[in-house]
Structure 1
Amino acid sequence: MQIAIQGCSHGSLAEIYDTVEQYTTTTGNQIDLLLLCGDFQALRSVHDFPSLAVPDKFKQLGTFQQYYSGQRVAPVLTIVIGGNHEASNYMWELYHGGWLAPSIYYMGAAGSVYVNGLRIVGASGIYKSFDYTKGKCHHERVPYDSKSLRTVYHIREYDVEKLMRLTPSPNTIVMSHDWPTTIAHHGDKQALLRRKPFFAEEASTSILLGSPPLLKLLNQFQPAYWFAAHLHVKFAALYQHNFPSHSQDLIAQNQSVHNPDEILIEDDEPLVEAGKAGNPDEIQIDDDEEMGDGAKGNPDEIVMDDGEFEDLPATGGGVKERVNPDEILVDDDEFDTPTAAPRGVSQKPAGENPDEIVLDDEIDDPPAPLAPANGSIPAPAPAAHTAVPLSVLASEPIRPSTTLMEPIDESADLLAAARAEGDGSTAAGTIAPSPDDAIAERLRKEAEEEQQRWSELAKNAPGGQGVPGSTKFLALDKCGPNKRHMQFMEIPDPDPNPSYPPRLTYDPEWLAITRALHPYLPLEYHATRPPPPHILGQIIEDERIRIREEGLLVPPIPKEGEEEEGELVWEKGKIDVGRVQRFWWTAPPQGEPGGSATAWYTNPQTLSFCGMLGLENKINPAPPVPPAPAQ
């Protein structure tokens, strides 16, 4: 199976598909599956902007809305996980997973599916200890306030524990946005620090960088491949599970640690010596988490043991004081003209970095109305909780993804990168030139280099070449010119008779786990805790047997030329996701009437998923219908 892996998308979906298309045209290798590792930004219209945790100056609609509306169609089966810059309102509608647009499948907060017998496991969001171990529940609701907007994307213990219940299988790919803790020590960490000097201080006092729950999952699941993004750098590692002992890793996964919920957004600049001062052009966004009395710096900062980096220059003997656990580091010098500070932005005092803007998220100003491109403001939905889903009109022509359409604007992150290029080759309203043969050739060479790098890592590992029980880890950069953001590779097909295009089917074990743990889905504080592990394990096993022997209640397969109607039927074995969950509009797309920044929607796909398992829908459930008046 030919697959492509993308790091952070940042709304640049059309560019990603164009890169895949150009690679296929140049090499002749047809890509069967595309994996997108978070920061997807599934913005349906400007009404989703208030649910996107990005400073207002960086909010751009991007091109996903064209795939949502039907203007374009994804040319390849695409599987998506969430990061920390998402249209969180839309992602929450599909908590259990579902189609964001035709052929674009979101894994949900956590999930497991099969593609031609290859298991794909996804863990959305990033780690924050408070919400993982204390808050735990999915308490956030649309419309989000300034606090919940920056907690809704934090990964929860409930979702990780569901993943931990899956049976390990070697034919598995895991997708995450965050990195597993300590993975940096299993690749060329010195090159990583040269590439990202901001890590140097965090590398000076601890062994930790990343997500401890994901390290726990890595050790439990031992997948063949693990793909990630988030830190905007390409990095490969080979994690040997059985040798050496990974004593530091085992300590790390069991520690209650704090992960900085930060994105380091830094374009390709000359490498600088590790240990220098951090990025001078950062935007600091004050988070909502409270610090203890007398706390100094960021309590949610992860630092790494300087014993691991004895050859690095000293960093001053301490951890840099920070106030922001959710900061976004952006090279503002990529923008060609400076802008005045908006409301709620304080200027830096004299003596500090003149290029740094500190945004105080605690200033809770109501957002100004955002108008679509044509200048008109859609009418609000009749009622936020009663908005009726809109199906895509079958009569509307659907145009494939192509670079010949009207100019588009994508994420501000890419716009900044394009401006930094400054070669005049970018047309007005676009992000970057279309991929060309040179880019496709570079990507082909990078794929060969990555396989060679993994081979070298295996040779240099204590166990030597060919040691079983290892995971190939690969993190990728964001989209943009000169970014190493996409990887192509061939994965052996576990299915002896694979279907093409590939077949996306449910993982029956994941369905059993979901049904067993559904009563304990934590939506409020002080939610009911699951039973002890041995009892829960038996409940899950009972559900596995039940699904295997009874099957699931699904729509019938329509006969050729007939409409998809009829009573639900019990079905055993492999069940196609598209047979049960079918894409619907919920919020109207950009340019269509209606919509509201405060509206929430009951997604028909979530209803169908819950109905298949015989579960109550707890995700944005429709309000009860009031009784009819007495006659």
Structure 2
Amino acid sequence: MRIAIQGCSHGSLAQIYDVINYYSSQTKNPIDLLLLCGDFQALRSKHDYASLAVPAKFKQLGSFHQYYSGERVAPVLTIVIGGNHEASNYMWELYHGGWLAPSIYYLGAAGSVYVNGLRIVGASGIYKGFDYRKGHFEKVPYNDKELRSVYHIREYDVEKLMHLTPTPSTIFLSHDWPTTIAHHGNKHALLKRKPFFRDEIEKNTLGSPPLLRLMNHFQPSYWFSAHLHVKFAALYEHQAPNHGPDVDDSTSLPLPATSSTVTQAGGNPDEIQIDEEMDEGNPDEIIIEDEGEEIIVRPRQANPDEIVMDDEEFDDTEPAVPQPLPSATNNTFNPEEITISDEEFDAPTAISQTPQPLPVTKANPSNPEEITISDDEFNDSTPAAQPLTTIDESTDLIAQSRSNPSHPPVPGTIAPSASDSTASRIMQEAREEQQKWELHGGKGMEGVTKFLALDKCGPGKDHMQFLEIPDPSPPSFPAPPRLTYDPEWLAICRAFHPYLSTSYQPIPLPSSDVLGQMVKDEITRIKEEGLLVPTEPQDGAIEGQEGLIWEKGKVDVGRVQRFWWTAPPEGHPGGNDAAWYTNPQTEAFCGMLGVQNKINPPVNRQ
């Protein structure tokens, strides 16, 4: 299966698909699946601006609305997770997952599906300790605080993922990075590009503690992320997660004088090579070999003096004291909150129509299963998609702030603060999770996870990756990839559903053992009873008027959840900034499981 992975999208969907089509035409290798790692920005119309955490003067519609309206059609099955720059009102409609547009599937706040037997698991959002234990309380229209808290990952969703059984052939998608992952790649190259990460890396706080816990639990074959706007590859060896003396919190980072190459030893036919060597030649010359043919492209030079700014969550700075379990009375103004004015952002830039270079991973021709990940080989002749504007994630704004000695430090923005007791607890849980695997080395890729973070769209940015992996369940004849539900995930959703809180206070979860038994009971129930799904469509039948049948075995997502407009697309009448919608796909998902829809239920059912 040929897969493309994109870092932050920032609304540039049409340009991303142009890259896919260009790559396919140049290599004669069509892409089967596109994975997008957040900051997707599914804006249906300008009315969704009110639910997008970006300063008003930087909001642009992008091209997603054309796929939503049907003006354009996605050329490849696309799976999306959410980040921290999203049309959060629309994402919330599809909290359990659903089609954002035809062929564009959102995994939800957390989710798991299968594509031809390949498990795709995802966790949307970013971590903030002071919101982690809250319910999903935000309601459209969002106030200024809710506009940012709505995309903060919640403990409830992480616990659901923790009850999935780790399996081989798993890809995990997240927007943020798992905490400590920087210790498992070339920190020298990373810090050369992002020197302001140093303090967080030294303190083991860069990234998301819940994601480290999930990585230790799943031990997936692949893990892809975005958010920090830099390409970074790592091998996370689960039997030696602390390999390297610099991982200890009390030890500063020794930076090697030269770049390193990390390989799996022993002549393993699945050998993974990661070479983070900085290219000392012409950084704009892109060379890729495709079956002996060399293609050289010299792209347009980017402006080296351009300062790229961003509206990350400077009003979400972590409080300096440990946070108690949330209550309705502690959602107050934070006196330590740092606010960045609109004047600190660059003006929007036009989308370039000039093809730009794109990174690529290619398989070793002598070993089709070997994946080589290298800075040099991340470049290719494919045009790079362009960012919609120059606004970015926190890293760009923090870099500018920290490079100015007159600015005070900016803590708690790309990493948990040192006083975050929630993060400390989760890190301990992550260590305990890893210890469960020490005796048998895990069930992932021989106890090793291949991690890759990608950059944002833009000239010279390593924002997209191509790779080919074995298809666990190849079709007997050529056919589009088949997207099916993960039965275990459906059982988890049903078992956890009574504890889904849409208020500020969470509903306390039972113990892990009790939840585990509840999930097992639901798995048995699904195996024995099946799922209540629409009958297979018949020729001449009117869509939406099918009957229902109890179905066992694999169930296609598109059979149950079918794309519908909720908000009118751009250029159509109706809609307003404060409107919310009950999504028929969410109703269908809940109906399949036989549970109440808590996500924007119709008024007469509230």
TM-score above 0.5: yes
Shift of 1:197: 1.8
- Secondary structure of residue in 2 paired with 1:4: strand
* CA spacing shift, 1:35–1:280, aligned 2, 3 Å: closer
Shift of 1:557: 0.3
Asked if 2 retains the 8 angstrom alpha-carbon contact of 1:238 and 1:454, the reply is no
Aligned to 2:183: 185
Aligned to 2:604: 624
* CA spacing shift, 1:294–1:521, aligned 2, 3 Å: closer
* CA spacing shift, 1:494–1:563, aligned 2, 3 Å: same
Aligned to 1:533: 512
Identity of aligned pairs, percent?
A: 65
Aligned to 2:433: none
* CA spacing shift, 1:447–1:624, aligned 2, 3 Å: same
Shift of 1:207: 1.8
For residues 272-327 of structure 1, the C-alpha deviation after alignment (integer angstroms, 9 at most, x for no partner) is xxxxxxx89676864156735899xxxxxxxxxxxxxxxxxxxxxxxxxx966797
For residues 487-545 of structure 1, the C-alpha deviation after alignment (integer angstroms, 9 at most, x for no partner) is 00001111143662100000000000000000000211334312222121111101000
Which of 454, 479, 484 pairs up with 1:476?
A: 454
Asked if 2 retains the 8 angstrom alpha-carbon contact of 1:174 and 1:226, the reply is yes
Q: How does 1:385-400 map to 2 (within 5 A)?
A: none
Aligned to 2:319: 291
Q: How does 1:512-531 map to 2 (within 5 A)?
A: 512-531=491-510
Asked if 1 retains the 8 angstrom alpha-carbon contact of 2:8 and 2:40, the reply is yes
C-alpha distance in 1 between matches for 2:97 and 2:582: 14
Shift of 1:193: 0.5
- Secondary structure of residue in 1 paired with 2:132: helix
- Secondary structure of residue in 1 paired with 2:603: coil
Aligned to 1:210: 207
- Secondary structure of residue in 2 paired with 1:605: helix
Shift of 1:589: 0.4
Q: Which runs of 5+ in 2 are unaligned?
A: 250-281, 284-306, 324-334, 377-440
C-alpha distance in 1 between matches for 2:193 and 2:318: 32
C-alpha distance in 2 between matches for 1:31 and 1:216: 31
The worse-fitting range, judged by mean Cα deviation, of 479-488 and 172-181 is 479-488
- Secondary structure of residue in 2 paired with 1:618: coil
Aligned to 1:199: 197
* CA spacing shift, 1:226–1:90, aligned 2, 3 Å: same
- Secondary structure of residue in 1 paired with 2:315: coil
* CA spacing shift, 1:517–1:325, aligned 2, 3 Å: farther
Aligned to 2:104: 104
C-alpha distance in 2 between matches for 1:519 and 1:611: 15
Which of 478, 485, 488 pairs up with 1:509?
A: 488
- Secondary structure of residue in 2 paired with 1:611: helix
Q: What amino acid is the match of 1:291? A: P
Aligned to 1:493: 471
Shift of 1:62: 0.2
Aligned to 2:144: 146
* CA spacing shift, 1:244–1:140, aligned 2, 3 Å: closer
* CA spacing shift, 1:574–1:200, aligned 2, 3 Å: same
* CA spacing shift, 1:582–1:281, aligned 2, 3 Å: closer
> Are 1:72 and 2:72 matched, yes or no?
yes
Question: How large is the Cα RMSD of the aligned pairs?
Answer: 3.2
Asked if 2 retains the 8 angstrom alpha-carbon contact of 1:479 and 1:485, the reply is yes
Q: What amino acid is the match of 1:232? A: H
* CA spacing shift, 1:559–1:131, aligned 2, 3 Å: same
Q: What amino acid is the match of 1:537? A: G
- Secondary structure of residue in 2 paired with 1:431: coil
Aligned to 2:588: 608
C-alpha distance in 2 between matches for 1:182 and 1:188: 12
C-alpha distance in 2 between matches for 1:162 and 1:615: 16
Aligned to 2:216: 219
Aligned to 2:30: 30
Q: What amino acid is the match of 2:21? A: E
Q: How does 1:413-492 map to 2 (within 5 A)?
A: 416=349, 431-435=351-355, 439=357, 443-444=359-360, 451-453=371-373, 468-492=446-470
Where has structure 1 moved over 4 Å in runs of 4 or more? 244-252, 279-286, 292-295, 322-327, 444-450
Aligned length: 468
- Secondary structure of residue in 2 paired with 1:200: helix
Q: Which runs of 5+ in 1 are unaligned?
A: 253-269, 272-278, 296-321, 328-343, 346-356, 360-411, 417-429, 457-462, 627-631
- Secondary structure of residue in 1 paired with 2:518: helix
Asked if 2 retains the 8 angstrom alpha-carbon contact of 1:285 and 1:324, the reply is no
Asked if 2 retains the 8 angstrom alpha-carbon contact of 1:36 and 1:81, the reply is yes
